[in-house]
Amino acid sequence: MAISKTDIEKLAWLVRLSFSDEELERFTAEFDEIIAFADTINQSIEGGTEQIRSVGARMVSFDELRSDEVAPSLSNEKILSNVEGYNGFFSLERSRK
Amino acid sequence: MNYEIVCGIETHIELATKTKIFCGCTTEFGGEPNTHCCPVCTGQPGSLPILNQKVVEYAVKAGLALNCKINTRSHMDRKNYVYPDLPKAYQISQYDEPLCEKGYIELDSGKRIGITRIHIEEDAGKLVHENGYTYIDYNRSGVPLIEIVSEPDISSAEEAKEYAEKLQLTMRYIGISDCKMQEGSMRCDVNLSLRKPGDTKFGVRTEIKNINSLSFIQKAIVAEAERQADILEAGGTIVQQTMRYDEKTDSVAPMRDKENSDDYRYFPDPDILRFSIDEEKVEEIRASLPELPFDKLKRYMNVLGLPEATAKLIFRYRKVAEFFQGALAEGASVKNAANLIVGAIFSNMDTEEEKELFDIRISAAQFAALVKLADEKKINIGVAQGTLQKMLESGKPAEEFIKPEDLAGISDETLERLCREAIDANPRAADDVRSGKDKAINVMFGYIMKKTGGKADIRKAEALLRKLIGS
């Protein structure tokens, strides 16, 4: 297997998620399938995914970059409309360090 | 200590653009929380970051000023880590194709500290931890930064301070950032390890994060080098970790486990197109650079003949240097212009910030007109100083304040009479001067200056007094 349980544990730690043992087993197997699928795609393209990136990506020139002009921001109400805000801040209960 | 310091510095500098790196939100400091935000800088799904041209221009300016090679093709990468200050759970940064590489900063000793790379990236939001909650303000999220990474060429706390100081001055000069360490627009991370002299292999390093003053850089290095030396002397080993410098206790303590760079899982950001900057544009930016600060310092000393101390006081503030040069262009003499700036104008400016801003009410031409009166000996330097103060207070030109009697000065006969009076009025001081206590002559200067309203030529007065006293 390309992906081990330890890999999944490490990834879970990096993204601050916790899994039960049973979930870990399941995710390890699923992740392995996903990676295998990506490998299949990669092998079917001459030059691999690097090739896709360099062929497909257009290069923009300096002059085409965004000019430094201020555009209106959203209101505080709008920014916080999907969350529970506190005094204009986003607020989070501290569950993990 | 039988160890050699091996130190490199990573410096984050906030660029003084009007808008954020990937959206049009303002970068203005402060503001009510989460009012300088939009879907891009709060990482909303479906939003599209578009690179700000000014950020690339400023980073290239920084690169050129630090003798770097400019990469004409570059791209942005995602640096993944999960922390609430980062709404997307990744920071858009640069990994394997930074804009600038392989530069250096030259120290006064002639030693060059290599610059490994300069890349552009976005700043994170601000977190406030209180009562078991974390409150987040994303106003700063997406503010453009450059990260300047030095080679581990620094071998003492003094060299580190000089490196950071020169970097700060250069960045201010080219106008890409105000580099205020207290306000966080310049922050330094110091990587440090020790090794035995002659060793070619590096020891295990620690990283001291977010140092916010030049003197703390120096102190933190001394404290960390001592801590590591104590461990090594006792036969222990250094643990690679992130440290924090505490200025109150002047000590360093661990922050959190250092993540390996692999853990950031960098990959090219598929939302942002690769970009190019052609040689012609790079040369155009190079041509727009002002004379760099340390080239200016050398010129002030070697070409203009200013004493080192005076040259150093003037060159370090870009606006002061411009004012000084403006006065020279109007025909003022180097010596009198420099002395009046340092002696009179600076006496109204207590802080570094005031000198940096140099917000004064007179033009370089008005200043030059006054300096020229002193150059032509139409007024003495005391009158020039007094007049300058009045000009600074009112914003009016010199001729408003200079009276005909100022222009005439004090006649030689009057000066001699006043010197005799000064000696008669201060017999003990005169005796003191005779017996070699030179400072006692100041008492008589005081008398003469008071009588003439500061208009007497002090050098002439001194020569006369000495002649009359016979010292």
B159 in the same domain as B36: yes
What pTM was estimated for this model as a whole? 0.81
The confidence band for A51, taking pLDDT boundaries of 50, 70 and 90, is low
A18-40 pLDDT, tens digit each: 889 999 999 999 999 998 888 88
Let me know if residue A40 belongs to a domain. Answer: yes
Instruction: State phi, psi for A10 to the nearest 5 degrees.
Output: -65, -45
Q: How far is A30 from chain B (nearest CA, A)?
A: 20
CB proximity A91 to B under 8 Å: yes
Let me know if residue A56 belongs to a domain. Answer: yes
For A56, which residue in chain B has the nearest alpha carbon? B273
B302-320 pLDDT, tens digit each: 999 999 999 999 999 989 9
Residues of A in contact with B26 (CB under 8 A): 70, 73
Please count the structural domains in chain B: 3
Token reading at A11: 């990834």
B111 in the same domain as B176: yes
Residues of A in contact with B275 (CB under 8 A): 59-62, 65
What pLDDT does B376 receive? 83
Which of B335, B290, B344 is CA-nearest to residue B317? B290
What pLDDT does B64 receive? 97
Token reading at B307: 């004493």
B456-470 pLDDT, tens digit each: 777 888 888 888 888
d(CA B305, CA B308): 9
Residues of B in contact with A75 (CB under 8 A): 35
Let me know if residue B294 belongs to a domain. Answer: no
Residues of A in contact with B81 (CB under 8 A): 14
d(CA A94, CA B75): 35
The confidence band for B406, taking pLDDT boundaries of 50, 70 and 90, is low
Does A14 sit within 8 Å of B80, measured CB to CB? yes
Residues of A in contact with B261 (CB under 8 A): none
B164 in the same domain as B107: yes
A65 has a pLDDT exceeding 70: yes
Does A91 sit within 8 Å of B275, measured CB to CB? no
Structural domain including A11 reads 1-63
Structural domain including B359 reads 305-406
B139 has a pLDDT exceeding 90: yes
**Helix (H) and strand (E) counts for chain B?**
16, 16
Q: How far is B130 from chain A (nearest CA, A)?
A: 9
Q: What percent of chain B has pLDDT over 90?
A: 59
B36-66 pLDDT, tens digit each: 999 999 999 999 999 999 999 999 999 999 9
Let me know if residue A89 belongs to a domain. Answer: no
- Between chain A and chain B, how many beta carbons pairs sit less than 8 Å apart? 126
B95 in the same domain as B77: yes
Please count the structural domains in chain A: 1
Q: What is the mean pLDDT of residues B284-306?
A: 94
What pLDDT does B405 receive? 61
Let me know if residue A85 belongs to a domain. Answer: no
Let me know if residue B292 belongs to a domain. Answer: no
Let me know if residue B338 belongs to a domain. Answer: yes
For residues B1 and B276, the model is more confident at: B276
A52 has a pLDDT exceeding 60: no
B186 in the same domain as B50: yes
B120-138 pLDDT, tens digit each: 999 999 999 888 899 999 9
What pLDDT does B1 receive? 54
B218 in the same domain as B99: yes
CB proximity A69 to B under 8 Å: yes
Q: Which of A60, A75, A86 sits opposite B275 (nearest CB)?
A: A60
B100 in the same domain as B172: yes
For residues A42 and B303, the model is more confident at: B303
ipTM higher than the 0.85 cut: no
Does B54 sit within 8 Å of A68, measured CB to CB? yes
Which CATH number does the domain housing residue B450 bear?
1.10.10.410
Does B34 sit within 8 Å of A89, measured CB to CB? yes
Q: DSSP characters for A85-96?
A: EETTEEEEE---
Let me know if residue A94 belongs to a domain. Answer: no
d(CA B100, CA B78): 18
Q: What is the mean pLDDT of chain B?
A: 90
> Assign residue B89 a region: left if phi > 0, alpha if psi is -120 to 50, beta otherwise?
left
For residues B407 and B376, the model is more confident at: B376
For residues A4 and B139, the model is more confident at: B139
For A92, which residue in chain B has the nearest alpha carbon? B134
Does B133 sit within 8 Å of A86, measured CB to CB? yes
| B189 contacts B209 by C-beta, under 8 angstroms | yes
What pLDDT does B258 receive? 45
Pick from A84, A89, A91, A97 the residue to mutate for testing the B interface (most B CBs within 10 Å). A89
B353 has a pLDDT exceeding 70: yes
Residues of A in contact with B73 (CB under 8 A): 59
Measured CA angle at B11 (ends B10, B13), to 5 deg: 155
B427-462 pLDDT, tens digit each: 999 899 888 888 888 888 888 888 877 777 778 888
Let me know if residue B293 belongs to a domain. Answer: no
Does B277 sit within 8 Å of A62, measured CB to CB? yes
What pLDDT does B40 receive? 96
A55 has a pLDDT exceeding 60: no
B111 in the same domain as B126: yes
B377 in the same domain as B252: no
B261 has a pLDDT exceeding 60: no
Q: What is the mean pLDDT of residues B258-278?
A: 81
Residues of A in contact with B128 (CB under 8 A): 89
Which of B328, B325, B321, B390 is CA-nearest to residue B362? B390
For residues B396 and A34, the model is more confident at: A34
Does B52 sit within 8 Å of A14, measured CB to CB? no
Q: Which of A15, A58, A67 sits opposite B82 (nearest CB)?
A: A15
Residues of B in contact with A14 (CB under 8 A): 80-82, 263, 265
Q: How far is B22 from chain A (nearest CA, A)?
A: 9
Residues of A in contact with B37 (CB under 8 A): 73-74, 79
A97 has a pLDDT exceeding 50: no
What pLDDT does B409 receive? 65
Least confident of A23-32, A48-57, B292-301, B383-392: A48-57
d(CA B121, CA B78): 10
Does A67 sit within 8 Å of B53, measured CB to CB? yes
Which of B43, B134, B41 is CA-nearest to residue B89? B43
Does A60 sit within 8 Å of B274, measured CB to CB? yes
Least confident of B8-17, B287-296, B409-418: B409-418
B418 in the same domain as B364: no
d(CA B15, CA B2): 41
What pLDDT does A49 receive? 61
Which of A19-33, A48-62, B102-116, B258-272 tops mean pLDDT? B102-116
Q: Identify the domain boundary among B368, B385, B406.
A: B406
Q: What percent of chain B has pLDDT over 70?
A: 97
Residues of A in contact with B39 (CB under 8 A): 74
